[in-house]
Amino acid sequence: MRQSRKLDHLKYSLALNDGPNASGFADISLVHNCLPDLSLNDIDISSSIAGIALSHPLIINAITGGANDVAPINERIAEFARLTNMAMAIGSQYAALEYPEVQHSYKIVREKNPDGVIFANLGAYVTAKQAQMAVDMIDAQGIQIHLNVAQEIMMAEGDRDFSGYLSNISKITNKVKVPVIVKEVGCGIAREQALMLAEVGIKAVDVGGTGGTNFLAIEATRRQLETNLETLSWGIPTVISAVETMSVLPKHVDMMVSGGIRSSLDVIKALALGGVATGMATPIVKMLYEKDMDYAVNWFQQFSHEIQCYMLLLGSGNIGELRKAPLIISGYSKEWLTIRGIDITKYAINGKHG
């Protein structure tokens, strides 16, 4: 059951459109710097998350999971990650804990990319021992613990009991030997839960807001359900979730931003909001399905060049300086955040956020 589910997730993620909720990046306007006092060649796009060095701020987020039939695409993603020095997270490894015979579909990622940054991935219901097993399986530098309550209740075979998740995450953080990153799977993280997570010892959160791959829509399609637009729109837009999270996150906990990252400018906006890294999944997998590896690598080279160009236009020589670049939050994001009592004017003043 779990293996066929992963194949369905991959198939429908490639077939369905983003949304219907917007990510919110259209509500962000960046302030041009006409005197950057920088050379394009000197701009440093390296970053780090949870103490793990990154060559650049783009991470291939989890999507494929593990099954015999997805091993080739996992291998292909790992090869792309190796060629571009891109960190990657694999899909949930619970299938490999249940069915050891599919472990090879995960291990192939490390075999193909022996020196790369790879994150393990499991749900918040697992034991600390299982979390460490997932890390050891692929020699991971960190582990994503995913939260996907809305997706689970949409699945006929999904979980229904989500009690004890926070205390369980605390146990995992105390026992595993690598940093823990807690990630939402497309419905976003509000400031109340971001603060609760920060207090149990995690090293980073990935806000995973609405606007990108919609796992509610994927599950509805799998079950051939006629689901209304309001249900499919459930969640917090990515930009709003990022600002909510940054409003309470202590400095020792990093924020990663995913959910509708579709352009180099989206990356810049996410980092300017306080992120240290951004996650993208479906566009990369789709490109690897439909194009050849050379095309994908050339795309990434152009993408990273555009990131440098935008940083130049903002007068930011590195990611730390980019987090201080002034920006304006307008539209629905402004309305939401203002009603929630979050001061967004500080983002418009250089050096007052991030």
Residue 10: the pLDDT is: 67
Whole-angstrom distance, CA of residue 209 vs CA of residue 194:
13
Phi first, then psi, for residue 147 (nearest 5°) are -115, 120
Residue 122: the pLDDT is: 97
Could you state, in chain order, the average pLDDT of each consecutive group of 10 residues for the chain (354 residues)?
Answer: 57 72 96 97 97 98 73 92 97 90 93 97 97 98 95 84 95 98 96 98 97 80 80 94 98 97 98 97 90 95 98 97 96 98 91 50
Amino acid (one-letter) located at 203: K
* CATH code at 2-348: 3.20.20.70
Structure tokens at 222: 């799998």
Nearest to 216 by CA among 227, 205, 206, 208: 227
If you ran DSSP here, which 8-state letter would residue 13 be given?
H
Residue for token pair 């306080």? 274
The b/e string for 299-332 (b: 16+ C-beta within 10 A; e otherwise) is: bbeebbeebbebbbbbbbbebebbbbbbbebeee
Domain parsing of the chain, residue ranges:
2-348
Residue 260: the pLDDT is: 95
Helices (H), the chain: 2-15, 71-84, 94-98, 104-112, 128-138, 149-154, 165-175, 191-198, 215-222, 229-232, 238-246, 264-272, 282-290, 293-313, 319-322, 331-339
Nearest to 7 by CA among 82, 56, 74, 81: 74
Residue 1: the pLDDT is: 40
Asked whether the beta carbons of 221 and 182 are under 8 A apart, the reply is no
